[in-house]
Structure 1
Amino acid sequence: MSVYVGNLSYEVTPEDLTQVFAEYGSVKRVQIPTDRETGRVRGFAFVEMSSEEEETAAIEALDGAEWMGRGLKVNKAKPKEDRGGGGGGGRRGRY
């Protein structure tokens, strides 16, 4: 399980998040998704910690806290839902 961190500054780095979350336990991994086209940070991240207790402590301390000029939204990450196969969209052939 991991922690969802939303409303992040677009200037945030994995090192920044590691430093903040390390106050509540051992950080195993930080993932900051970026926009496929622009490469720009999308304003949220996922932080994986060593134990559920550490994650809970970080959530309780950081949810709603102001950091880098923004009010953080911190909670348990929801499992990635299966959006079904395929893709593409658009036309399915010519008629």
Structure 2
Amino acid sequence: MSIYVGNLSYDVTPDDLSAAFAEYGTVKRSMIPTDRETGRSRGFGFVEMSSEDEEKVAINALDGAEWKGRSLKVNKARPRDNNRQRGGFNRDY
């Protein structure tokens, strides 16, 4: 279970993200993916909290909230789709 946090400022660190969500419960982990070539934040992140109830409270409190000059998009993260095509052609045979 994790929370997707979109529209992050590019200067937000995983520690900043953890601190913001810690007001709503125990943060187990936070992550902000970076671009492979530039090392710059991709503008979104993920937060894992210790319970689903804490996640719901954080999502309700922070979705649409202004933080560091940005309006956050916060919702339950969807499971990663491991079947995505990564170039090439479709081999459905």
Q: Could you say whether these structures have the same fold, taking a TM-score greater than 0.5 normalized by the shorter chain as the test?
A: yes
Aligned to 1:80: 80
State the shift of 1:82 in Å: 1.7
Distance 1:4 1:26 in 2: 16
Aligned-partner SS, 2:23: helix
1:26-68 Cα offsets, whole Å, 9 max, x none, are 0000010000111110000000000000000000000000000
Q: Which residue of 2 aligns with 1:12?
A: 12
Please, what is the CA RMSD of the aligned residues?
1.5
Instruction: Return the offset for 1:79.
Output: 0.1
Q: Determine the C-alpha separation between the residues in 1 that align with 2:66 and 2:76.
A: 18
- TM-score by length of structure 1 reads 0.88
Equivalent pairs, count: 89
Identify the residue that residue 44 of structure 1 maps to in structure 2. 44
Deviating beyond 2 angstroms after TM superposition, the runs of 4 or more aligned structure 1 residues are 87-90
Q: What TM-score comes out, normalization by structure 2 length? A: 0.90
Gaps of 5+ in 2: none
